[in-house]
Amino acid sequence: MSKAVVVGDLNVGKTCLINRFCKDAFDRDYKATIGVDFEIERFELSGLPFSLQIWDTAGQEKFKCIASAYYRGAQVIVTVFDMTDILTLEHTKQWLMEALNENEPNSCFIFLVGTKRDLLSPDECQRTERDAVKMAAEMNAEFWSVSSKTGRKRAAVLLPCGRSGFRRLRPEGHGARLQNGADRRRRRSQSG
């Protein structure tokens, strides 16, 4: 079983992202995550069963010390920002640093995910993606822009947890590992 932790400011759409991926569902109403929550998603990689434990952490400052206790042992760190709020992009570096502090150097595959793409005009989307690509380069992360509202489970939204990222995790044995090394990161955006 591999572990992914999803971090980022409050209200950026972490829970919705996970729900789209795991349940193919979207909830318009905001319910703050209290501390942490997790889902287990099972799928096949190269014909072999694969399980991913996805930890949804609270963005609220007051829950930070609870949530950060769950960062350890992550193979994947998903840093999330809201594409309609550029400040949340700036904060992703801090979130990443805190998650990396709890893990071995170079042991994690990193994603930067911009959510709420559906709320932006094409021009705004392009501008935000440009900023995000720069940030992803600094973070050594793979970038995706998505909408949990309009995106579809496998086709659009999921993204890190779906194709390119977790294909690099080996389904074999106990505890999958990064297959291609954490240095081969690509930056992408995907319409969702």
Ligand X SMILES: Nc1nc2c(ncn2[C@@H]2O[C@H](COP(=O)(O)OP(=O)(O)OP(=O)(O)O)[C@@H](O)[C@H]2O)c(=O)[nH]1
Residues in contact with ligand X by the rule CB under 6 A: 10-16, 27-30, 32-33, 58-60, 115-116, 118-119, 147-149
Q: Which is nearer to ligand X, 75 or 115 (CB)?
A: 115
Q: Which is nearer to ligand X, 27 or 90 (CB)?
A: 27
Q: How far is the CB of 63 from ligand X (least distance, A)?
A: 8
Local structure of 188: helix, strand or coil: coil
Local structure of 94: helix, strand or coil: helix
Q: How far is the CB of 184 from ligand X (least distance, A)?
A: 28
d(C-alpha 169, C-alpha 149), whole Å = 27
Give the H or E element holding residue 4: strand 2-7
Q: How far is the CB of 173 from ligand X (least distance, A)?
A: 32
Q: Which is nearer to ligand X, 118 or 131 (CB)?
A: 118
d(C-alpha 93, C-alpha 64), whole Å = 15
Q: Which is nearer to ligand X, 77 or 178 (CB)?
A: 77
Q: How far is the CB of 28 from ligand X (least distance, A)?
A: 5
Using CB atoms within 10 A of its CB, is residue 136 exposed (0-12), middle (13-18) or buried (19+)? buried
Q: Which is nearer to ligand X, 9 or 171 (CB)?
A: 9
d(C-alpha 11, C-alpha 79), whole Å = 13
Local structure of 43: helix, strand or coil: strand
Local structure of 27: helix, strand or coil: coil
Q: How far is the CB of 159 from ligand X (least distance, A)?
A: 12
